[in-house]
Structure 1
Amino acid sequence: MSAPATTRNQAESPSGPADPSLPTNLRRNAALVPTDTAAGRSLAAVIAILTFLAGLCAGAAEIVATNAGQWQGDVAQEVTIQVRPGPGRDVDADVARAETIAKSEPGIAEARVFSKAEAERLLEPWLGSGLDLSDLPVPRLIALKLADSRSADLKRLRTRLTEALPGVASLDDHALWLQRLSTAANAFVGIGVGMVILVLVATGLAVTFATRGAMAGNREVVEVLHFVGADDDYIARAFQRRFFGLGLRGGAIGAGLAILAFAVAGLLARAARSGPAGQEVEALFGAFQVGLRGYASVILIGVIASLVTGVVSRITVRRFLS
């Protein structure tokens, strides 16, 4: 025997008004799946925290990738000639000759010769200041700025330097350093992506347990819905809407907090950049700038978190009902 259509329609409406003809103790004024409960608020808070952490990981990976790309671009536009002093040789003459050879090559936009005092100051971070290095054979450096890395024939320049100044001049194109920088940056970005994936997996697990708890707490309601003819898809959609709303709320809060954290950190970094310490930090780690792509990735994580919440809740309900 099936229930009347009006009773079925009222039961299938999660937020519809209760039938006034029913006794007070049989009326259900709440939604099919309550949205404002302690468990729901706790789940939204967990999703917000996880989204916040995932957003921080994604933003940090974006900062590293951006700065690494800028460093690689800057370093790729410069090469260095090292002129080593030798017994019986005039190092200033060797430096001048190496500079002349470099300037004659196409694609070299600028050549800057480091004086002996400047070369010695480059050793202070390792040897300390106040040392007398006048008796040491400190190599002289020539920094070359490339107009276009594709037009400069560094192989020919290296050959000419070796032929003109054998055992004295050498060319360093920083290829090994660039390779190590690229490897380190890719590893950091990979770790960031892995952390984001782990956070999303943790979000799915939290939603799974919360959905099972909600199903257990609403077992009687589910049985009544089955009795009046509601199918599993309808019940799954009801729970999916509820948990998608919680995920959307938590994802929006977490993503918003992550964006706010990056914005505040960027303002503090720009304020500290005016001092010498801030300039040293920027020179070492690069500018603290997330960029539009970083903010978009944080927002995307919030959206993905809400979608994961809805999909996982639906799958969990279907498995529970089956």
Structure 2
Amino acid sequence: MTDSAVTPETEEEANKPHSIVPRANVAGTALMLVIAIMAFLGSLTLGAVTLVNDTARGWQSEIAREVTIQLRPIDGQDMNDALARAQEVVGGFTGVTRVDIVDDATAARLLEPWLGEGLDLKELPVPRLISVGIDENNPPDFDTMRSSLAESVNGATLDNHRAWVDRLTTMARATIVSGLTIFALMMAATILTVIFATRGAMAGNAHVIEVLHFVGAEPGYIANQFQRHFLLLGLKGALAGGAVAIICFLAIGLWTRRNVADPSADQVAALFGTFSVGPWGYVGTIVLIFAIGMLTAITSRATVLRHVGDLDASPKR
């Protein structure tokens, strides 16, 4: 009875195709862990690049829709009259959608972090501001507007924030290039790791590979054995790392939304808006998971084919 119970399982296992690559070992687990870490860091890098790119576009769009007029206090000049004249001059230009004078209360709130509460702007030589809305598709001639303001209102200057935005955009582009460079280095490190892991697996089965090759096994058959093995390892590791990265994206976005009134969240929002990775960040992470799996399989296959080619070139033993 015992023999009949054991024999079918033994025959079934004997009929299963045996792989020349060890299915589970310490090296394979370590490789999967390394790939998971690389996928996690790569996903974070892609998310950061996407966030900075979206923020830079938001800066440019906001600047294109608004400019600011600043009126400095001048002795003998009535500030309210100067504000009204500046508003009238700017409102006559084509492409201007609105002209809003920043009132005392709003100006006091803007200065509050530096000068404290309870400001009386009438007692301080503080410039007054006018916010001007601009039609992005049909902007006015800023040089002409600047000249008209200078002729009509003493102490009036027009600021289209271009210099400030150019600096921020340059910083954003440098950050994006740095992020993509780091991402490329991580992918190169992943490729090297897979190459070494494949060579290690081949070294542990070198006699089997040589025998199979010299008895007529096609190089593609041997390469397929390693390719399937490392494809599964790569997908498992990349899926784990990508999933953790997506959870981090969601957690950070949830935190900023819940703490929108917190001072630290306000500072983050000033630079990045509501800190949340856009759809392309998630799409990029999903694509990265499959890309790492395929990259792992292709790298392993190429390494095996090169090794088998070296066997052909070496003297027969």
TM-score, length basis structure 2: 0.85
SS at 1:258's partner residue? Answer: helix
Q: Which residue is equivalent to 2:205?
A: 218
Q: Which residue is equivalent to 1:7?
A: none
The structure with more helix, counted as a fraction of residues: 2
Q: Which residue is equivalent to 2:228?
A: 241
Q: CA deviation at 1:118?
A: 4.0
Question: 1:115 and 1:295, CA in 2 relative to 1: closer, same or farther beyond 3 A?
Answer: same
Q: Which residue is equivalent to 2:129?
A: 141
| Contact map agreement 1:119 1:138 (CA 8 A) in 2 | no
Q: CA deviation at 1:137?
A: 2.5
Deviation string 1:245-266 (CA, Å, 9 cap, x unpaired) is: 2112211221122112212222
Q: Which residue is equivalent to 1:38?
A: 26
Q: CA deviation at 1:243?
A: 1.1
Q: Which residue is equivalent to 1:10?
A: none
- Alpha-carbon distance in 2 for matches of 1:72, 1:151: 14
- Alpha-carbon distance in 1 for matches of 2:272, 2:214: 64
Q: Which residue is equivalent to 2:5?
A: none
Is structure 2 residue 67 aligned with structure 1 residue 79? yes
Q: CA deviation at 1:146?
A: 1.7
Q: Which residue is equivalent to 2:8?
A: none
- Alpha-carbon distance in 2 for matches of 1:209, 1:277: 45
Selected match of 2:164 from 160, 177, 182: 177
Q: CA deviation at 1:133?
A: 6.3
- Alpha-carbon distance in 2 for matches of 1:254, 1:241: 20
- What is the RMSD of the two structures over their aligned residues, measured on CA atoms? 2.4
Deviation string 1:144-185 (CA, Å, 9 cap, x unpaired) is: 11233524232221121122125x111101111111121111
Q: Which residue is equivalent to 2:242?
A: 255
TM-score, length basis structure 1: 0.84
Query: Among the aligned pairs, what percent are the same residue?
Result: 43
SS at 1:273's partner residue? Answer: coil
Q: Which residue is equivalent to 1:270?
A: 257
Q: CA deviation at 1:17?
A: 6.1
| Contact map agreement 1:47 1:250 (CA 8 A) in 2 | yes
- Alpha-carbon distance in 2 for matches of 1:268, 1:133: 37
Which amino acid is 1:85 matched to? P
Q: Which residue is equivalent to 1:97?
A: 85
- Alpha-carbon distance in 2 for matches of 1:190, 1:284: 19
- Alpha-carbon distance in 1 for matches of 2:194, 2:118: 63
- Alpha-carbon distance in 1 for matches of 2:232, 2:226: 10
- Alpha-carbon distance in 1 for matches of 2:17, 2:97: 78
Instruction: Count the aligned residue pairs.
Output: 298
Is structure 2 residue 113 aligned with structure 1 residue 110? no
Is structure 2 residue 117 aligned with structure 1 residue 123? no
